[in-house]
Amino acid sequence: MSGVAFDPAWIVELYRRMVRIRAFEEKAAELYQKGALPGFLHSSVGQEAVPVGVCAWLERDDLITSTHRGHGHILAKGADPARMFLELYGSEEGYNRGKGGSMHIMDFSIGVLGANGIVGAGIPIAAGAGISLQNRGSDRVVACFFGDGAVTTGAFHEGVNMAAIWELPVVFVCENNQYAESTPHRTVDRAPDLTVRAQGYGIPGELVDGNDLFAVLEAAQRAVERARRGGGPTLLECRTYRWYGHYIGDPAVYRSDEEVASWKARDPLRRVAAWLLEQGALDEEGEARLRAEVEAEIEAAAEAGARGRRPAPESALEDVYAG
C-alpha cells in the first residue's frame, strides 16, 4: 500500500465516498430483500476503491459511462443518493422518473451518461463521447467503467480500438471482479491480464490492485492526465471482488466460502481506514463518526426514496421522443 504522497484530508473525503457507496448498497440490498424495490439489484460492495479512485480525478463536467452494477460509479461521480433511491423505488421523482430503475440511472447534469443493462454497450458510447470532446477541443475526459465480462464482447473490441486509433480522451476501467454472473473470467479469457490486450490496441495498459485505493488513485491519475492532455486512451484492469452474488438474492453457488472470505479480508474500506488512522488523519472516534454521518445520510435518502411520488400511469408515454 502506497499513498504517502496524498493529502490525508483528501483521503478522508475519498474514504467518505467509499463508505457512502457501501452504505448505499447495504441499504438497497436490505430494502430489496424485504421486497420493497422492484426489478433486479446488482451490488458493488467490495469494489468501492475503483470508482472512488478513478472519479477522484474527475470534475463535475467530466463524463462517465457505467454498467448494470453502477451505483458505485454514479455515487463516486457525485450523484444524490436520495434521487437514486427514488429511482430504485420507481418514483416519478427519481433520476429517471421511474422509467429506468437501478440498471439505468443517469444524471447528465454531472456527466453520468448512464448505467447500462447491456454488457459492453457503454464502451462505444464512451468512445463517441470522446469524439464530442475532442471535436470541440475540450480538455474534459470520459471514464468508461465495465466488468471483466465485457472484455469478451465485440463492443469492447470495436470501442477500444476506435478510441485508440483516434487517441480519444477516454480512460477504460475494467473492474475485474473475477466473475461474469457464474463464469470465472479465466475460463473465457486466456490473456494473463488486460495489459496484453492494450498492446494489441497500441495503447498503454496497467494492471492495478482494485482493492487498494492508493493503487487505483495512482494509475487513474496517470490515465486521466494522459487523456486530458491529448495523449489518448488507457486501459486499466482493476482486480477486485464483489462480496454479494451477481444480483441480490443470487446464492452464488459457483464460488467457495473460502474465496469470499479471503477477499473480505482485503476489504478496501478497512485498508483506507487503517491508513488514515496510521496517518493520524482520523482517530477511531472520528472514523466512527464519519460512518455514522454517512449512514444517517443514506438512511434519510432511503426514507426519501420510500416517500416518493408514484408516477402517473400516463406518464409512461412521455419522453419517448424529444420532438
Partner 1 sequence: MPVRELTMREALREALAEEMERDPSVFLLGEDIQDPMGGSYKVTLGLSTRFGTRRVRNAPISEAAIVGAGVGAAVTGSRPVVEVMYVDFLEIAMDQLVSQAAKIRYMSGGQVAVPLTVRCQGGPGRSAGPQHSQLLEAWFAHVPGLKVVVPSTPRDGKALLKAAIRDPDPVVFFEPNVLYNSRGPVPDPGADEVAPLGKADVKRPGRDVTVVTYGAMVAMALEAAERLAREDGVEAEVIDLRTVSPWDRETVLASFRKTRALVVAHQAVRQGGMGAEIAATVYEEALDEVDVEIARVGARFAPTPFAPELERYVVPGVEEIVAAARATLERAGRAGLLARR
Residues 194-253 that bind ligand TPP (CB under 6 A): 246
Tell which one of 87, 93, 148, 209 touches Mg ion (CB under 5 A): 148
Residue 310 CA, distance from chain mean position: 28
Least Å distance, CB 43 to partner 1, is: 17
Is residue 119 part of the contact set for ligand TPP (CB under 6 A)?
Answer: yes
Q: Residues touching partner 1: how many (CB under 8 A)?
A: 77
| 312/107 Cα distance (integer angstroms) | 22
The answer to the question of residue 117 lying near ligand TPP (CB under 6 A) is yes
Cβ 150 to Mg ion shortest distance, Å: 8
What contacts 58, CB < 8 A, 6 or more positions away? 64, 77, 111, 141, 143, 224
If one asks whether residue 118 binds ligand TPP (CB under 6 A), the answer comes out as yes
Q: Are 33 and 224 within 8 A, CB to CB?
A: no
Is 95 in the active site? no
Please state the closest distance from residue 147 (CB atom) to ligand TPP, in A: 2
Q: Point out which span in 20-28, 65-73, 198-206, 250-258 binds its own copies (CB under 8 A).
A: 198-206
Q: Which of 186, 254, 270, 307 is catalytic?
A: 254
At residue 114, φ and ψ (nearest 5 deg) are 130, 135
120 binds Mg ion (CB under 5 A): no
HEC string of the chain equals CCCCCCCHHHHHHHHHHHHHHHHHHHHHHHHHHCCCCCCCCCCCCCCCHHHHHHHCCCCCCCEEECCCCCHHHHHHCCCCHHHHHHHHHCCCCCCCCCCCCHHHCCEHHHCECCCCCCCCCHHHHHHHHHHHHHHCCCCCCEEEEEEHHHHHCHHHHHHHHHHHHCCCCEEEEEEECCEECCEEHHHCCCCCCHHHHHHHHCCCEEEEECCCHHHHHHHHHHHHHHHHCCCCCEEEEEECCCCCCCCCCCCCCCCCHHHHHHHHCCCHHHHHHHHHHHHCCCCHHHHHHHHHHHHHHHHHHHHHHHCCCCCCHHHHHCCCCCC
Which region, judged by CB under 8 A, interacts with its own copies, from 14-22, 29-37, 149-157, 243-251? 149-157
Pick the closer one to partner 1 by CB: 23 or 63: 63
> Which C-beta is closer to ligand TPP: that of 91 or that of 96?
96
Any contact of residue 127 with its own copies (CB under 8 A)?
Answer: no
The nearest distance, CB 77 to partner 1, in angstroms, is 15
User: Residue 117, interface with partner 1 (CB under 8 A)?
Assistant: yes
Interaction of residue 313 with partner 1, rule CB under 8 A: yes
CB of 117 to ligand TPP, least distance (A): 5
242 counts as catalytic: yes
Site string for ligand TPP, 159-178 (x = CB under 6 A): ------------------x-
C-alpha cell of residue 82: 436520495
Out of 180, 198, 238, 269, name the contact with ligand TPP by CB under 6 A.
180
199 binds, among partner 1, its own copies, ligand TPP, none (CB under 5 to 8 A by kind): its own copies
In 3D space, the residue among 153, 193, 146 whose CA is nearest the CA of residue 171 turns out to be 146
177 forms part of the interface with partner 1 (CB under 8 A)? no
Question: Which partner, ligand TPP, its own copies, partner 1, none, binds residue 177 by CB below 5 to 8 Å per kind?
Answer: ligand TPP
Q: Known catalytic residue: 254?
A: yes
Residues near Mg ion (CB under 5 A) are 147-149, 177, 180
Residues near its own copies (CB under 8 A) are 152-158, 161, 164-165, 187-192, 196-197, 199-203
